[in-house]
Structure 1
Amino acid sequence: MSTTVAFEKARAEGRAALIGYLPAGYPSVDGSVTALKAMVEAGVDAVEIGLPYSDPVIDGPTVQAAVEGALKAGTTTADVLRVVEAVAATGAPAVVMSYWNPLQRYGAAAFARDLAAAGGSGVITPDLTPDADDTWIPAAREHGLDTVFLVAPSSTDQRIAMTTAACRGFVYATSVMGVTGTRDQVGDAAAGLVARTKATTDLPVAVGLGVSNGAQAAEIAAYADGVVAGSAFVRRLLEAPDHAAGVASVAALAADLAGGVRTR
């Protein structure tokens, strides 16, 4: 099931879609499933499931801390696929957020096959550009998976057009230059980037990096098709006194953000 389903549902309701991220395996494989399901129940339309990797170059300290915890706990790619299967069973599209190295080591064709078998919708590849590899896109197409690439404020119009042509599902627009992490304000460049991106594609455009509350979600929902939140959810788990409290906290944040995307 493509992530476009979530965007179509949101559009029919006159709002933006809400996408939430957590890494698989933190604080445990089952614990991440519980938290992700709570997010869906509280209003998240689609989920990004992070594949833990030892060199997360665009992730800030919050996500890095959780990813390190997942790796220390022994989380494997097979575990990530198990998380995808469990979350996809809720009916919400589940996409994997992964750096290219783990997918390359697993094998592009094999990963596409196994992700599709698990019910996954696609992959967001933050460090892979469409012209940097000739194996992933054909493998994803063969198995009907979304290929979500990133555009940034620094992207030229030509680069944006090349990137969106290779995207399926949606386009991920990064609101600021830099690593992930919650911010007091979403970058001013985001609205302009969305407009430039929409000029090249009919695909939905979602904005991420820095979203931490309902007010910010509402601000972005005024001009984007989707709002992505990640570090804010991870922080709720990291700072909770126990996992049950963490799950309740991420559900509360999901509800706040879900309210935000409905006040565009």
Structure 2
Amino acid sequence: MTAAHVTAPGTERIAEAFARAHADGRRAALMPYMMAGYPDVERSREIAAAYVDGGADLIELGIPFSDPLADGPVIHAAAVAALEAGATLHECLTVAAAVAERVPVILMSYINPILARGVERFCDELVATGVCGLIVPDLPREESGLVTAACAARGLALVPLVAPTTPPDRMTEIVAAATGFIYTVAVTGTTGERTGSDGDVPALLARVRGDARVPVALGFGISTPEQASAAAAAGAEGVIVGSRFVRAAGEADAVAIGELVRAFATALR
């Protein structure tokens, strides 16, 4: 793995990416998700480059895991396929290294691979690769002290998730401690392509933004350029698209995927 030559802390690079997207005339930053190692490691490197060429402002890079409790069938199947193809953490990080100088990469990993590697070693490898932040969907705030400290010591953003079901007091605590950005879950349930949200997204985003010191991004269920545009209109400062792009990774070549990203990026102008 070739380490990316990135000098600014991850938190700074993430903030710059959101600011740059706004300065370039986009209502929200575009953050497509991809599964590292799917359909294979080399193809996923090509897909990451296509994301950037298509206009991605940041990339959320998933580490394949056998029991991805927050993910729906498309991403779950991609994780299983990547593992069956022999994808390792080291190989997955080469995907991040391939584009880390061009855009901020935020790693999405469940807690078990982090603990198996060792929290300090895991975070050191992220920094060496040029990764800017970490999302751990199954790490409760009450148990996050070790990961929080390791990320803070290295300038890595530890991005929290909030949902429509998050109680107000808990949301205030999570938002106040957030670094990088706040991942706002638009729906209850797992990731996947949907035709609509569960409730009042503008009200949810307004609740989150009330105490936020970092950008607020919206994800889960956004699968069309029109839905991305609606998310920005509702007040999202970042739009995260997952299952639609993972499905494309299994069906299309890198050129077509880049065009799909461009369609979403255009919709956010």
Kept in 1, the 8 Å contact 2:109–2:134? The answer is yes
| 1:104 aligned partner | 115
| 2:267 aligned partner | 260
Q: Are residue 94 (structure 1) and residue 105 (structure 2) matched?
A: yes
| 2:77 aligned partner | 65
Report the Cα offset of residue 192 of structure 1.
1.6
Report the Cα offset of residue 130 of structure 1.
2.2
Unaligned 5+ segments in structure 2 are 1-9
Q: Are residue 116 (structure 1) and residue 127 (structure 2) matched?
A: yes
CA distance in 2, matches of 1:108, 1:61: 28
When normalised by structure 2's length, the TM-score is: 0.92
- Map of 1:190-205 to 2, 5 A cutoff? 190-205=201-216
Report the Cα offset of residue 184 of structure 1.
1.1
Report the Cα offset of residue 188 of structure 1.
2.9
SS at match of 1:26: coil
Question: What are the superposed Cα offsets for residues 159-188 of structure 1, whole Å, 9 maximum, x if unpaired?
Answer: 111112222110000000001001112343
| 1:164 aligned partner | 175
SS at match of 1:228: strand
Kept in 2, the 8 Å contact 1:216–1:260? The answer is no
Kept in 2, the 8 Å contact 1:123–1:147? The answer is yes
Q: Which amino acid aligns with 1:220?
A: A
Change (3 A) 1:187 1:252: farther
| 2:246 aligned partner | 234
Kept in 2, the 8 Å contact 1:148–1:170? The answer is yes
| 1:224 aligned partner | 236
Q: Which amino acid aligns with 2:206?
A: A
Kept in 2, the 8 Å contact 1:190–1:207? The answer is no
Quick one: which of 210, 220, 223 aligns to 1:209? 220
SS at match of 2:173: helix
Kept in 1, the 8 Å contact 2:56–2:265? The answer is yes
Change (3 A) 1:248 1:186: farther
Report the Cα offset of residue 129 of structure 1.
2.5
Kept in 2, the 8 Å contact 1:147–1:166? The answer is no
Change (3 A) 1:226 1:187: farther
CA distance in 1, matches of 2:144, 2:222: 30
SS at match of 2:134: strand
**Count of residue pairs the alignment pairs up:** 256
Identity of aligned residues (%): 39
- Map of 1:130-145 to 2, 5 A cutoff? 130-145=141-156
Q: Which amino acid aligns with 2:257?
A: V
Report the Cα offset of residue 247 of structure 1.
1.6
CA RMSD of aligned residues (A): 1.2
CA distance in 1, matches of 2:140, 2:260: 32
Question: What are the superposed Cα offsets for residues 63-109 of structure 1, whole Å, 9 maximum, x if unpaired?
Answer: 111111100011111112211111203x1000101111111111111
Quick one: which of 111, 128, 148 aligns to 2:139? 128
SS at match of 1:131: helix
Kept in 1, the 8 Å contact 2:176–2:213? The answer is no
When normalised by structure 1's length, the TM-score is: 0.93
Kept in 1, the 8 Å contact 2:28–2:268? The answer is yes
Q: Which amino acid aligns with 2:58?
A: A
Q: Which amino acid aligns with 1:152?
A: A
Unaligned 5+ segments in structure 1 are none
CA distance in 2, matches of 1:167, 1:74: 34
CA distance in 2, matches of 1:79, 1:95: 16
Q: Which amino acid aligns with 2:203?
A: G
Kept in 1, the 8 Å contact 2:194–2:223? The answer is yes
Quick one: which of 88, 92, 97 aligns to 1:80? 92
Q: Which amino acid aligns with 1:76?
A: T
Quick one: which of 193, 197, 200 aligns to 1:182? 193
